[in-house]
Amino acid sequence: MHQYLLHLGIGGIGIIRISGKNSFEVLEKIFKPKNKSNEIVGYTMKYGHIIEDNKIIDEVLVSYFKGPKSYTTEDMCEINSHGGTVVMKKILELCLKNGADLAEPGEFTKRAFLGGRIDLSQAESVIDIINAKSEREAREGIKQLDGFLSEKINDIKKELLEIITNIEVSIDYPEYDTPEVTNKDILKKIQTCRNKLNSLENSFDSGKIIKDGIKTVIIGKPNAGKSSLLNAILKEDRAIVTEVEGTTRDTIEEFININGIPLKLVDTAGIRESNDKVEKIGIEKSKKLANDADLIIAIFDSSKEFSEEDIKILNIAKNKKSIIILNKSDLVQKINNENPKLKDFNQNIITLSAKNKTGLEKLFEKITDMFNLNEINLDNDIIITNQRHKNLILKALENLNKAEKILKDGMPVDILEISLKDVLGNLSAITGEEAGEEILNEIFARFCLGK
């Protein structure tokens, strides 16, 4: 309770919400309406006073919501008092003294979920709306609260249930269909589900990109052309550059937007200074930067053979989302994209001249492709913004792939059924039918009090 009071702010109006089957009883003990009628009608307000020992504590308006048509699905009332801390604290104490308990953070929304009014993903969107930093983020939250995501998930669950029913029918009535027909049908349905889950999963990256930009680092040994490339990108006519402070004190991040490609260039300061005698971005630092980047641009001087240091840089770029730039294409090239050391990067090699600014278009096109930027349709598609949902979708995809393999290997259908039920379980955890108590507690603990 102390913590609650510490967070209490001052406002013109303060609201104390009571929910549960005894809410009206508690209220009756402390509230004297002006109009003495005892009838309680949902969606109405009464004017009156909060009273303690015949003393008026405050002049208030009380709204009544009768369950199940309330935020929590229970009987609820909200005391609209004056928003000063002293008065609010007093009314809260009176409520507690007369039989109410202090709510946990997120308890109202939790009750709405437990009461079946909203599912878990909708409940979670309430936090997103409250915490949104931009209009765009808030809009995603509201879409989710409206049930867009739940609808998508339920749609996939329905298809899975159909497959499971098919399997059960084929187990019970083997003469009903030939196994070949059933298998082909099931395979097709599994693929449809996978496509839908994949596009949901991909949307997480889009959402993150729109919000945060593609966190990009440029790495390469001294004189490969890092700072020339950076300058070429920044001087690109259509680049809108915003300098933002880096996460650590000595880095500068530049947020640039080229043809709708949001790039957040990290540690550009280091690159700028790399013309000093001492090379600022060493291999170790490059490794560190590369670790939490969304995109690595590794640049090489293609007029020289790969050196040992170049190989180290290639190793950093391996297994990550990276683009290899063979720079200095205006000179006689010693390495091209057929070089055996580049075999891991097949499609992602760009030859350009940073100095002459030729070939940059290819770089931008490549980034657009790699991050599916052309496919992001912000208004019509639902975007996954919640890490928990993304993890569950990944698990669902894993189990779906397992199911496909079981089917293709001709293993018994009851094993297939188990895998599919696992997928169903993963999806149900998003909407909350199968989220454990621990997960629920963790989710609702992130809410503020009173929500």
Where along the sequence are the contacts to ligand GDP (CB under 6 A)? 220, 222-228, 271, 274-275, 327-328, 330-331, 353-355
Q: Measured from the CB atom, is 66 or 357 closer to ligand GDP?
A: 357
Shortest reach from residue 228's CB to ligand GDP, in Å: 3
Closest approach, Cβ 287 to ligand GDP, in A, equals 17
| Residue whose CB is less far from ligand GDP, 67 or 220 | 220
User: How far apart are CB 243 and ligand GDP at their closest, in Å?
Assistant: 19
Check residue 298 and report its DSSP letter: E
Q: Nearest distance from residue 325's CB to ligand GDP, in Å?
A: 10
Least separation in angstroms between CB 352 and ligand GDP: 7
Q: How far is the CB of 346 from ligand GDP (least distance, A)?
A: 23
- Closer CB to ligand GDP, 64 or 300, in the complex: 300
| DSSP character string of 189-211 | HHHHHHHHHHHHHHHHHHHHHHH
Q: In terms of CB distance, is 170 or 353 closer to ligand GDP?
A: 353
Identify the three-state secondary structure at position 224. coil
CB of 194 to ligand GDP, least distance (A): 42
> Distance between CA atoms of 66 and 72, rounded to whole angstroms?
10
Nearer to ligand GDP, 339 or 353 (CB): 353
Task: Tell me what percent of the chain is helix, strand and coil, each rounded to the nearest 5.
Answer: 50, 20, 30
As beta bridge partners, residue 300 has 326
Of 220 and 262, which CB lies nearer to ligand GDP in the complex structure?
220
| CB neighbourhood size of 108 (10 A) | 23
Q: Which residue, 259 or 275, has its beta carbon nearer to ligand GDP?
A: 275
Cα(366)–Cα(198) distance, integer angstroms: 21
Q: How far is the CB of 252 from ligand GDP (least distance, A)?
A: 15
Closer to ligand GDP by Cβ: residue 231 or 372: 231
Task: Indicate the residue among 327 and 385 with the shorter CB distance to ligand GDP.
Answer: 327
Q: Which residues contact 430 (CB under 8 A, 6 or more apart)?
A: 120, 121, 149, 153, 388, 389, 392, 393
Q: Are the beta carbons of 234 and 250 closer than 8 angstroms?
A: no
CB of 354 to ligand GDP, least distance (A): 4
Please name the helix (run of DSSP H) or strand (run of DSSP E) that holds residue 296, with its range, or none: strand 295-301
Q: How far apart are CA 89 and CA 100, in angstroms?
A: 14
Length of the chain: 451
Nearest CB to ligand GDP, comparing residues 213 and 225: 225
363-370 contacts, C-beta under 8 A, 24 or more apart: 363/297, 363/323, 363/325, 364/258, 364/259, 364/261, 366/323, 367/214, 367/261, 367/263, 367/295, 367/323, 368/259, 368/261, 370/295, 370/321, 370/323
CA trace torsion 255, 258, 260, 262 (10° rounding): -20
Give all strands of the β-sheet with 239-245 in edge-to-edge order.
239-245, 252-258, 261-265, 214-219, 295-301, 322-327, 349-351
Smallest separation, CB 355 to ligand GDP (Å): 3
Quick one: 121 or 227, whose CB is closer to ligand GDP?
227
CB closer to ligand GDP out of 191 and 275: 275
Structure tokens at 187: 């395979």
d(CA 250, CA 180): 63
Distance, CA of 318 to CA of 302 (rounded, Å): 18
3-state secondary structure of 231: helix
CB of 226 to ligand GDP, least distance (A): 3
Cβ 241 to ligand GDP, closest distance in Å?
A: 18
